[in-house]
Structure 1
């Protein structure tokens, strides 16, 4: 079913529940932009996880942002992310939401459906529990929370699925480009942290991911980064959490005096501002890769998902590659036994480790070598990113 089931022009109070990770939020920005353009008269409230509040707070397409927090003894408390957010939610809740939207295609692990079901909205729209086997198993019975459920074709990118939900709700997309909302303070802090001279080329590296199977082995990554950096005549800025400091140390050992270790030193927006000032990003299948795509730099991303794997799998680049035409996906040519052909199932880095370093270097140099060197011009960036370009889906490379 794809016909619109709601009249957005009649909505006065809309709740969007997006309780996901940073990369998922980035992939929902085209949805939020299209929703605002389709319902300019509505007061739109956005609920996000605390881990994503940093990215969501400056979003210009919503009127207030809140974040669910667990209450002592049970229940949740919706705390303000933006000034007055909690009061705005309480007011809309008392008056009654006209519409609640849950742009979460796959398995709901953070309680988005529960919050939507308890929003008391006249209409609650989301994706059916039948869209993936993982959702059917882990979210059995969740369809009862929705007044209207969408079951789109599988194997499409998350940006495309989110925009399908917007159309289902009666909206019209305002392009499909993803975006970020960085402040002048974010960019000033990024410039301070990088502290490099004008014209000096820098590339960013984000070695971490949510699961070890999605991380290219640190020793091989250090080898790849070193060869790429030397080939480009570039310095390297390593971003991530404190957990990535060991990987940063390996890269620094391979490139003495040429590494800026920023692990554990930035929030999400400042990390994005750092990436924005570089000539490109090397990352895993993780949030930083999506930050890179949103700020417009070329992104090379290592994926554990093999060529020919299930395109609807939660590791699949078909669903989760950075949404940019300047993306190079580095993936295994086939799954390694005992992993099934559908995707890597190992606890540690396994299928991803079969990506040959020399081939990865060649692909990354091809991606980064043809673009501008040095810091991205302050004249281009200090005024903000402007309206995002529509992104044509990039090719999925297997090496």
Structure 2
């Protein structure tokens, strides 16, 4: 059995090349940015490389505490990698990491993921310091093991806190300084200076006055279980527009065209943008909006990183991922099957979302938009 060093923090003080691993979605990487900031602030001069999925790697231009990104579709995470491709892909990763001569690796996971596959890769690549949460005894796969006793449930710590607690096990304190105007432990997204200008040009090209007030509706989510009905988003958007929210901008990726069209308000002025925005432009759109309405998906975490107000239709699949340190309203309907962790509703009723009427969404948006006290969430 591998024993923790007498002073677990001692070996980490000399780390100069560190690999941070976060292999799931864009929002998960954003929720890891306070931990990445902690690493940068605790280890002066450290070069930080992020190993991320293609979705997470898209954040590269906007991550102030990451020096380099390696993109990898891990076979042990949701991946388009086939069984035949998996072995060679992992072997190639081992070689690439070995060439990187990293001093340490931190594997960031949620409590339902295993860090052991990545720990094995890191050990084969010769990375001497290997830190992760792990439920079972990792023996020599990890040099620094934080036992994971966490299970999904009400009252569990937020995902951001989980990653900061992991680093605390090796003496890395939470960040003492955030981006301008943001909390020290806030999510971090660095807009590019040209994003706002290019967004304005695209809004004008779409027939909208970029100087007019707007609000954002994003009806998509990667998992079907986390999608509030687009038609209800449309009703809520109509009410928000009538309450002075301005022009409705409905956005989504190329595969979400039908959702975007279904989420447009029936009568209020609106603009649909399908797959036409870069990540930086989407962030500029959210930053300039009076309010954003969305599911528990990437835009909710972009809003949190920017300190922008957001109303989230929050499917009760995982309690850890609510908006972090930003003005927010989180709406759901309590159900006995909460914390199911499923991408498709196992009961078929979607009650945790369908139990939230569109007028409740609109009311929450208008109240938050005008910064008035919010009512208690519906049961």
Give the TM-score taking structure 2 as reference length: 0.80
Match of 2:180 in 1: none
User: Structure 1, residues 1-36: CA drift from partner, whole Å, max 9, x if none?
Assistant: 9x9723332112211111120100111111111100
Q: Compared with structure 1, are the counterparts of its residues 117 and 349 closer, same or farther at alpha carbon in structure 2 (3 Å cutoff)?
A: farther
Q: Which runs of 4+ in 1 moved over 4 A?
A: 69-73, 109-114, 141-144, 341-344
Q: 2:201 aligns with which of 192, 198, 203?
A: 192
Instruction: Give the 3-state SS of the residue equivalent to 2:368 in structure 1.
Output: helix
Q: 1:101 aligns with which of 95, 106, 116?
A: 106
Maintained 8 Å contact 2:111/2:148: no
Whole-angstrom CA distance in 2 between matches of 1:249 and 1:150: 46
Q: Compared with structure 1, are the counterparts of its residues 328 and 5 closer, same or farther at alpha carbon in structure 2 (3 Å cutoff)?
A: same
Match of 1:254 in 2: 266
Does 2:342 align with 1:397? Answer: no
Q: 2:234 aligns with which of 218, 222, 229?
A: 222
Whole-angstrom CA distance in 1 between matches of 2:285 and 2:229: 24
Does 2:300 align with 1:303? Answer: no
Maintained 8 Å contact 1:297/1:326: yes
Does 2:362 align with 1:361? Answer: yes
- 141-150 vs 186-195, which moves further: 141-150
Maintained 8 Å contact 1:55/1:181: no
CA deviation after TM superposition for structure 1 residue 142, in Å: 6.3
CA deviation after TM superposition for structure 1 residue 100, in Å: 0.7
Q: Compared with structure 1, are the counterparts of its residues 102 and 327 closer, same or farther at alpha carbon in structure 2 (3 Å cutoff)?
A: same
CA deviation after TM superposition for structure 1 residue 287, in Å: 0.9
Match of 1:121 in 2: 127
Maintained 8 Å contact 2:311/2:361: no
CA deviation after TM superposition for structure 1 residue 54, in Å: 1.9
Does 2:289 align with 1:278? Answer: yes
Instruction: Give the 3-state SS of the residue equivalent to 1:260 in structure 2.
Output: strand
- Give structure 1 stretches of 5+ with no counterpart: 80-85, 131-140, 306-313, 372-393
Instruction: Give the 3-state SS of the residue equivalent to 1:184 in structure 2.
Output: coil
Instruction: Give the 3-state SS of the residue equivalent to 1:209 in structure 2.
Output: coil
Matches within 5 A, 1:53-64: 53-64=57-68
Match of 1:387 in 2: none
Matches within 5 A, 1:342-361: 342-343=339-340, 345-347=346-348, 349-361=350-362
Instruction: Give the 3-state SS of the residue equivalent to 2:315 in structure 1.
Output: coil
CA deviation after TM superposition for structure 1 residue 122, in Å: 1.0
User: Structure 1, residues 113-168: CA drift from partner, whole Å, max 9, x if none?
Assistant: 454343321121111136xxxxxxxxxx8676322221367410011011111211
Match of 1:158 in 2: 159
Whole-angstrom CA distance in 1 between matches of 2:91 and 2:61: 14
Q: Compared with structure 1, are the counterparts of its residues 57 and 355 closer, same or farther at alpha carbon in structure 2 (3 Å cutoff)?
A: same
Instruction: Give the 3-state SS of the residue equivalent to 2:196 in structure 1.
Output: helix
Instruction: Give the 3-state SS of the residue equivalent to 1:162 in structure 2.
Output: helix
Instruction: Give the 3-state SS of the residue equivalent to 1:121 in structure 2.
Output: coil
CA deviation after TM superposition for structure 1 residue 193, in Å: 2.1
Maintained 8 Å contact 2:26/2:56: yes
Q: 1:76 aligns with which of 89, 99, 121?
A: 89
- Give structure 2 stretches of 5+ with no counterpart: 74-80, 151-155, 176-183
- How many residues in Structure 1 have an aligned counterpart in Structure 2? 342
Whole-angstrom CA distance in 1 between matches of 2:314 and 2:371: 23
Match of 1:41 in 2: 45
CA deviation after TM superposition for structure 1 residue 370, in Å: 3.0
Does 2:214 align with 1:202? Answer: yes
Whole-angstrom CA distance in 2 between matches of 1:156 and 1:73: 33
User: Structure 1, residues 293-329: CA drift from partner, whole Å, max 9, x if none?
Assistant: 1112101000121xxxxxxxx521xx10011240100
CA deviation after TM superposition for structure 1 residue 366, in Å: 0.8
Match of 2:186 in 1: 177
CA deviation after TM superposition for structure 1 residue 75, in Å: 2.1
Give the TM-score taking structure 1 as reference length: 0.76
Whole-angstrom CA distance in 2 between matches of 1:341 and 1:62: 35
Q: 2:337 aligns with which of 328, 337, 340?
A: 340
CA deviation after TM superposition for structure 1 residue 233, in Å: 4.2
